[in-house]
Structure 1
Amino acid sequence: MNGSESEILFNNRSISSYFSASRGSAAPGMGIVVVSAIFGVTDEMKKIADDLALEGYPTVVPDMFWRIDPGPLPSDPAGYQQGIARVKDYDRDEGLQYVVAATDFLKLQPSCNGRIAIMGFCFGGAFALLGATRLGIDASISFHGTDVGRHLDEFPKATCPLSFHYGDNDEVAPMSEVNRIIDACGELDNAEIFIYPGAQHAYMFPSRGDIYDPGAAKLSWQRALEFLDRVRS
């Protein structure tokens, strides 16, 4: 890993996080807050932060579960069940304040130009939307985001560009929900949504074995980087 463990100040306490400063450009870049899946700040999330840093984006991954069940979980059945348990009654309003703290942290970094994007995976997808509608974020990306369908009324409030990515074989965020998200995005001129045939929930993650879809993951990432390049300054 090229980044480092960092602490984000929140109400006189510290949120454990992983921070990777941009190395792809001499000039400061747009900062990115990555909101992880239910497994937390895993090595996979850290690699994503490092990859974004190499593209010129200083990136932080806060431990969104630091108060209730801190630390990463393995992506095995036991880890999955523990992850489901810790998001069951999760307070999203408080979680959004963790995102605010993470954006404040990024804006203090010399490698950040003051603009902020949010990138959510699975559990982080709803935060990607709510960050765009409630926090003044400059850009939002979601990969197989869950619970987005519960916040369809938020889409008209989005003041920044959105980029959402789903597989059409996702049992956690099924097409019945995704179609409603498509309709919500269709009413905006700053939103894009991509559907990947055959891709399952968590198709972006190599650690998920047969669920990982390298073709869909590669194309999603390429499109995300193209999106970021358009909004970075």
Structure 2
Amino acid sequence: MPSSHYETITTPDGTFDAFCAVPEATPAPAVLIFQEVFGVNDNIRGLAVQLAEAGYLALAPDVFWRIEPRFERKDESGLADGFAHVQQLDFDLVPGDLTATMAHALGMPECNGRVGGVGFCLGGTLAYLFAATARVDGRGPDAVVSYYGSAINGMLDLAPRVECPVLFHYGADDPYIPAEKIDEVEQAFAGRSDVVLHRYAAGHAFSNWDAPSLYDEKAARTAWPRTVDFLGEHLR
């Protein structure tokens, strides 16, 4: 069984926590998991453990640490709090936090030098930012998976800076990301054979089993094996 604990990540303006799940066999590839608006909660910790069970060193950084350290909410009742935190999130500082987490992962003895990222909702946007901006000693992540990142369309100018393979998951019935927005992402990466985009007959946050009105079991159970296979292809 994987073990878990919290790591302390150091940045130029402070430290923050990252939930860590360690696989039985190390060193292993690291995968950073980027949170939804609900924070690093049971859903994100559960996904970290699932990745550790699949043989990855999983790290979930607390991106709300400057606003409310260790913030977490469990379900739809926490949406208002989560959205309020997103409004306060400084997206100019976030890339540095993601890079610091990547550097920390690469420095852990349990990491074999390969690193990827997976993000959901807010984290889907952060995963895209991670791919475009995180560089440690000149190298970026080796693969990234983004689930329904609604702010990606406002950042498509960064697409040329995305050097690693990327897997995008979107719900075709997402009220926050209409079909034409998904088309824009697809068009931004047209011609990139290492970028894959899937659409599911589901809404927003379909992977979050902690939010019953959002969770779509069929879509989630299709997307997750694709995620693990994609990471396996590029991190193993």
CA shift at 1:87, angstroms? 0.8
1:217 paired with 2:220, answer yes
1:188-227 matches, within 5 Å, as 188-197=192-201, 199-227=202-230
Shift of 1:72: 3.0
Question: In 2, are the aligned partners of 1:28 and 1:112 still within 8 Å (CA)?
Answer: yes
How far 1:178 moved relative to its partner?
A: 0.8
Query: Partner letter of residue 10 of structure 1?
Result: T
Work out whether residues 36 and 61 of structure 1, in 8 Å CA contact, stay in contact via their aligned partners in 2: yes
C-alpha deviation, 1:31, in angstroms: 0.6
Specify the alignment match of 1:6 in structure 2.
7
Q: How many residues align?
A: 230
- Post-superposition shift, 1:77? 4.7
Which one is further off, 14-23 or 38-47? 14-23
Counterpart-to-counterpart distance in 2, 1:204 and 1:2: 23
Aligned to 2:20: 19
Q: Give me the whole-angstrom Cα distance separating, in 2, the residues matched to 1:126 and 1:204.
A: 15
Partner of 2:105: 106
AA aligned to 1:133 is: A
Query: Per-residue displacement from partner, 1:72-114 (whole Å, max 9, x unpaired)?
Result: 3324454211111111142122111111111122112222111
Q: Percent identity?
A: 30
Aligned counterparts of 1:12 and 1:108: Cα–Cα separation in 2: 20
Work out whether residues 144 and 166 of structure 2, in 8 Å CA contact, stay in contact via their aligned partners in 1.
yes
Q: CA deviation at 1:12?
A: 6.5
**2:169 paired with 1:169:** no
What is the TM-score with the length of structure 1 in the denominator?
0.93
Counterpart amino acid of 1:226? Answer: D
Point out 4+ residue stretches in structure 1 off by more than 6 angstroms: none
Aligned positions of 1:84-163 closer than 5 A:
84-135=83-134, 136-163=140-167
Q: Give deviations 1:86-144, integer Å, cap 9, x for gaps.
A: 11142122111111111122112222111111111100122211221222111110111
1:177-212 Cα shifts (integer Å, max 9, x gaps): 111111112232220000001x11010011111321
Q: CA RMSD in A?
A: 1.6
Q: Would you say the 8 A contact 2:170–2:182 is kept in 1?
A: yes
